[in-house]
Chain A
Amino acid sequence: MIIYGVAFLALCTLVGLFIGELLGKLLGVPANVGGVGIAMLLLIFIGSYLSKRGLIKPKSEQGVEFWSAIYIPIVVAMAAQQNVLGALSGGPMAILAGVVAVVASFAMVPLLDRIGQKKPEAGADKSLTAPQR
């Protein structure tokens, strides 16, 4: 049943966010610490475990796939409620600070990508992590 997939997704999301809240409390940070990320990891690992055992029927998968497919429209709706006016009326300093941060971060992507890839192809886990540190 499709609802099984939706409920599975909902449970992963709620448990992940809950752990994120707890981590925030524990670390004294006024933010949810990686709740969405933890929820994704739960979904990935529990999901692949269940499907390996054949415990998720294709019909149930549709419940997750629907929300995955509706993601882009949701992001468009999210874009439509950004405070664009607030961003642009922050003045030249705020705009420049944002722009420089983005440009610098973009420039870092190929740099970090290269650092990680220096490892030899045949390398095991150890040689994989060493150059990255």
Chain B
Amino acid sequence: MYESMMKVINGYGLVSGFAVIGVTMWLSYWFSDKLTRGRLHGSAIAIFLGLVLSYVGGVATGGQKGLVDIPLLSGIGLLGGAMLRDFAIVATAFGVNTEELKRAGVSGVVSLFFGIGTSFVAGVGVAMAFGYTDAVSLTTIGAGAVTYIVGPVTGAAIGASSEVMALSIAAGLVKAILVMVVTPFVAPMIGLNNPRTAVIFGGLMGTSSGVAGGLAATDPKLVPYGCLTAAFYTALGCLLGPSLLFFCMRGLVG
């Protein structure tokens, strides 16, 4: 019987993914309603639950893809993979207010540069505090604080050691996960409740998964505005990391 069940679940991975995530959503909204009286958004709970489960999955299997490494749940990988994620993000753009977008356009571009600069400086500062002094390691860790893709891309380009690259990836992962979890709580404090701040938020945070999750948990209406600017962040980071930012660091620390 177990074999037959596994055969169905593995053979129909995406369908099982829908079922598992559907149940998770239902549970989360039920929690949200009963335990927090709706104060904490159901989707915020669901995303947090997903992250906790992925930690459990990682501990249980030693893999890198959280819950998806458990064979029974591999269908979630299809559902939450890059293809459907990007497809759904693009779909959220339908019904976006073009006037709002035009008005926030310049702020969005400015926020991209500020965002990369802020995260980079933060990463470099922490790396310095922990005793790193060479330009290559500092730049790589700083780039990791930009996103977990910019870190290794920059590190590979300027010849960082694999330990430093691993650290930069970890820093980027921490950032992505933190943005997902914390955004709904911080949103009221930073005025994140309109398309304009969402555009700026996307440009400042930049981590696609973090912004996608954080805004979904805050207010789904803001998702397209934030994701639109965030879409340019990683690429801009990859462009600036091994070039401008590295040259600046080399000029600073020699």
- Residues of chain A at the chain B interface (Cβ within 8 Å): 9-10, 12-13, 16-17, 20, 23-24, 27, 29-41, 43-45, 47-48, 61, 64-68, 70-91, 93-110, 112-113, 115-116, 128-129, 132-133
Q: Is B101 an interface residue (CB 8 A)?
A: yes
Q: List 10 A-B contacts (CB under 8 A).
A: A31-B153, A40-B224, A65-B91, A73-B18, A85-B59, A97-B174, A98-B178, A99-B178, A102-B175, A105-B115
Q: How far is the CA of A93 from the CA of B114 in the complex (A)?
A: 23
Q: Is the CB of B171 within 8 A of A29?
A: no
B172 within 8 A of A: yes
Please tell me if B155 contacts chain A, counting CB pairs below 8 Å.
no
Query: In the complex, are the beta carbons of A79 and B213 less than 8 A apart?
Result: yes
> When the two chains form the complex, which single residue of B47, B64, B95 contacts A75, counting CB atoms closer than 8 Å?
B47
The one of A17, A93, A101, A110 in contact with B86, judged by C-beta atoms closer than 8 angstroms, is A17
Q: In angstroms, how far is the closest chain B Cβ from the Cβ of A43?
A: 5
A112 to B150, CA, bound (A): 23
A67 to B49, CA, bound (A): 22
Give the residue name and chain of the B residue nearest to A92 (CB): B130
CA distance A47 to B219 in the complex (A): 23
Q: How many A-B residue pairs have CB under 8 A?
A: 335
Interface residue B192 (Cβ < 8 Å from any Cβ of A): yes
Tell me what chain A mostly uses at the interface: helix, strand, loop, or mixed: helix
User: Could you list 18 further interchain pairs (A-B, Cβ under 8 angstroms) beyond the known A40-B224, A89-B170, A109-B191?
Assistant: A36-B89, A36-B227, A37-B232, A41-B228, A65-B94, A71-B89, A75-B213, A76-B25, A78-B85, A79-B54, A84-B51, A84-B52, A90-B174, A101-B118, A101-B145, A105-B122, A112-B204, A128-B103
Tell me if B85 and A75 are in contact (CB < 8 A). Answer: yes
Contact B145 A98 (CB under 8 A): yes
Residues from chain A with a CB closer than 8 A to the CB of B220 are 71-72
B10 contacts the other chain (CB 8 A): no
Within 8 A of A (CB), among B66-97: 66-68, 73, 76-77, 79-81, 84-96
Contact of B209 with A104 in the complex, beta carbons under 8 Å: no
Select from chain A the residue with minimum beta-carbon distance to B43. A72
User: Quick one: which of B161-187 are within 8 Å of A by CB?
Assistant: 166-180, 182, 186
Partner of B177, one of A61, A76, A82: A82
